């Protein structure tokens, strides 16, 4: 039996979380293959094209399933820039779980966060409106529905402007810059 190998990757904004852009012959949309040339690795879960941050890739099918399958309740932590000013009612709704079209979400850990000091610039930049305040939240969920964090914050009146995944299980970005990757221990799940 082979020892699982793991790559952690800081996915930049606009990159598809797959190695090919099937069905879009000649597409200029960047994929993981632009950044990672190691063979035999596959993403363990997805990160939307308009989201940034940590992706975990592995060459081991059972580990990939453990990371991505919601039944294992592997926690994922995000830094989320939202439009508006969060109030305690909105935060408490997220903490209890909100009802989306595909059912009630599991309770999330949500805290207001200070604006990050050393965060990389995004290209293109987040739209800025002087008349509408924004805020940063730290959001930890234990499931991974399609665009879940964005749908949750929108549900409580705080549309997401920028979403950065910082951690999956015990794996985290640390100082990994956008587009960079490194090998990691398989002990994160």
| Cα separations in angstroms, 142 against 6, 14, 69, 106, 163 | 20, 25, 10, 7, 16
DSSP string, 162-176: EEEEEEETTEE-TTP
Beta-sheet strands, E only, within the chain: 6-11, 42-43, 52-58, 76-83, 99-100, 103-104, 109-113, 134-141, 160-168, 171-172, 181-184
Options 3.40.50.261, 3.40.50.720, 3.30.70.580, 3.30.1450.10; CATH of 6-70+169-188: 3.30.70.580
Mean pLDDT over residues 121-141, rounded?
A: 88
pTM of this prediction? 0.93
Neighbours of 89 (CB within 10 A): 9
CATH 3.30.70.580 domain range(s) in the chain: 6-70+169-188
Residue 38 has pLDDT above 80, yes or no: yes
Residue 23 has pLDDT above 90, yes or no: no
The angle subtended at Cα 165 by Cα 159 and Cα 166, nearest 5°, is 130
Binning pLDDT at 50, 70 and 90, where does residue 26 land?
A: low
Q: Which two tokens stand for residue 141?
A: 């969920």
Mean pLDDT over residues 77-94, rounded?
A: 97
C-beta separation of 7 from 50 below 8 A: no
Options 1.10.3720.10, 3.30.70.1560, 3.60.10.10, 3.40.50.1970; CATH of 75-168: 3.30.70.1560
Active site residues: 48
Percentage with pLDDT > 90 across the chain: 72
CATH 3.30.70.1560 domain range(s) in the chain: 75-168
> 132-179: per-residue pLDDT in tens?
899 999 999 998 888 999 999 999 999 999 999 999 999 999 889 999
């Amino acid at each position: 039996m082979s020892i699982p190998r793991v790559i952690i990757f800081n996915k930049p904004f606009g990159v598809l979380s797959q190695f090919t852009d099937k069905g879009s012959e000649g597409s200029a949309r960047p994929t993981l293959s632009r950044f990672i040339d190691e063979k035999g690795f596959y993403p363990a879960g997805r990160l939307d094209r308009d989201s940034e941050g940590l992706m975990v890739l592995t060459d081991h099918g059972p580990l990939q399933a453990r990371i991505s399958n919601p039944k294992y309740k592997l926690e994922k932590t995000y830094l989320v820039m939202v439009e508006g000013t969060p109030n305690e009612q909105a935060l408490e709704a997220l903490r209890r779980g909100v009802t989306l079209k595909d059912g009630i979400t599991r309770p999330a850990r949500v805290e207001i966060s200070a604006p990050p000091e050393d965060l990389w610039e995004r290209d293109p930049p987040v739209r800025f409106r002087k008349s509408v305040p924004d805020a940063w939240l730290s959001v930890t969920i234990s499931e991974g529905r399609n665009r879940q964090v964005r749908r949750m914050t929108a549900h409580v009146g705080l549309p997401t402007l920028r979403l950065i995944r910082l951690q999956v299980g015990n794996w985290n970005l640390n100082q990994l810059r956008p587009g960079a990757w490194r090998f990691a221990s398989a002990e994160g799940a």
